[in-house]
Amino acid sequence: MAADAPAAEIIILAAGVGKRMRSDLPKVLHSLAGRPLLGHVLDAARALEPRGIHVVHGHGAEKVRAAFPQPDIRWVLQGEQLGTGHAVRQALPQVGAESDVLILYGDVPLVRPATLKRLLEAARAGLAVLTAQVADPSGYGRIVRDAAGRIVRVVEQKDASPTELAIREVNAGFFALSARRLGSWLTRVGNDNAQKEYYLTDIVGLAVAEAIPVSAIRVEDHWEVAGVNSQQELAALEREVQAREAQRLLEGGVALADPARIDVRGELKCGRDVSIDVNCIFEGRVEIADRVRIGPNCVLRNVTIGQGSEVHAFSHLEQAELGARCRVGPFARLRPGTELGEEAHVGNFVEVKASRLGAGAKANHLTYIGDAEVGARVNVGAGTITCNYDGAVKHRTVIEDDCFIGSDTTLVAPVRLARGSYIGAGSTISKDTPAGQLTLARARQVSVPAWKPPKKKG
């Protein structure tokens, strides 16, 4: 693309049914590393800062549009799927006549922006095609060259001869060229082939016939051009993505107990001397500071963890923020809106939601804390619950600094425990408590000497 040429416009083909996926979900919405396939392609496209992005969609059109509400996408409906050439033709009326055009696929998610830039640069001379040398070319169109090594055409597998089927250089489906040439050639693309479809690849033969240079940009990493047509292919691509993510973490100094047993489905940032045990899943945006230890079988989604904190086995954290030197789990659940001050402890079978625990606060066993403000150095005994919901409205519980909550206590919100309150075990607290005093709210214990246990019948 010439330096003074208009910015390229990008057409992404995303209308396919994906029959081999055997799913009601449109193929381009299937998830790879926590994001839809089409989302990965859109990111690569946006990295080029194009003049426009046109997404040709068809199967599950409403679902696809709803998944990507961003205003920079121009949607093009392909009502009837008649092939890739037909799909591109639907988008051309929206493309500027003087633009260069880059054609991508919504189910080929790992292509790099740097590769696409190379493809656009090669299109200065005419038509640029992205190719790859693969061990198993099954399913791909083959790149046919003449004796001098020049590309003469692309043949789809169903139309290929035995000799052509043996070719291992394949067409990745990505093209770059001027909009004027593309529009002219597409009017001459027919459907005289095994599938009775209008193949975009036919423009290669038309370019050759007009003596327009056809340049091949070959990628060395075949995963860049790997498409997804089945659940098996999607699973293989997922493993490749996760292997790359594990390698990135290892190179950054993160200690992974087993690089094959970690899944990053979003963005994971780690400080120094971080260790992650097996079978952990990281979703959304997760930031982990220095010297943090994550135990096995944990799920973290949109979480920030301060220095020196530990998350023990089988804990589930979502939209939570942990200060320094906190300890969570095992078997703890931190729900959205949880904040832990430094050195706070949330132990086994404890659930916290929309609450803040102050510095040094502890809830070590079998507790539910919801819609609460827990002060510093508070000790919450086993079996304590905040009754925050009256069936219509959520109410707040406030526990000020240095309170001690005895085991099996029920706190009926809205309620405030003043600083230094001491709550006797088994109490039901529904009124505010005075500072520095012991509060008990139990029924009197009664023994019935004449009572006899019931007898079983028969």
CATH code for the domain in which residue 271 is found = 2.160.10.10
Q: What is the pTM of this model?
A: 0.90
Do 63 and 176 belong together in one domain? yes
Do 188 and 278 belong together in one domain? no
Domain boundary among 205, 225, 245: 225
Number of domain units in the chain = 2
Do 279 and 182 belong together in one domain? no
Do 29 and 72 belong together in one domain? yes
Do 192 and 267 belong together in one domain? no
Do 42 and 99 belong together in one domain? yes
Tokens of 444: 């009197």
Element (H, E) at 65: helix 61-67
Is 324 a domain residue?
yes
* 251 CB burial (10 A radius; 0-12, 13-18, 19+): exposed
- Best CA proximity match to 177, nearest among 198, 140, 207, 151: 207
Do 221 and 342 belong together in one domain? no
Query: Do 85 and 198 contact (CB within 8 A), yes or no?
Result: yes
Burial annotation 344-377 (CB, 10 A radius, 16+ → b, else e) = bbbbbebbbbbbbbbbbbbbbebbbbbbbbbbbb
Which residues of the chain fall below pLDDT 50? 1-6
Is 401 a domain residue?
yes
Is 170 a domain residue?
yes
Do 278 and 212 belong together in one domain? no
**φ, ψ dihedrals at 356, nearest 5°:** -120, 130
Domain of residue 113, CATH code: 3.90.550.10
Do 200 and 283 belong together in one domain? no
Range(s) of the domain holding residue 365: 253-439
* Structure confidence at residue 83 (pLDDT): 92
Do 56 and 157 belong together in one domain? yes
* Structure confidence at residue 1 (pLDDT): 42
Is 457 a domain residue?
no
Q: Is 365 a catalytic residue?
A: yes
Catalytic residue among 40, 54, 365, 395: 365
Do 212 and 63 belong together in one domain? yes
Report the alpha-carbon distance of residue 69 to residue 71 in Å, rounded.
6
Is 435 a domain residue?
yes
- Best CA proximity match to 325, nearest among 313, 339, 312, 307: 307
* Structure confidence at residue 456 (pLDDT): 81
Report the alpha-carbon distance of residue 134 to residue 140 in Å, rounded.
10
Domain boundary among 180, 206, 225: 225
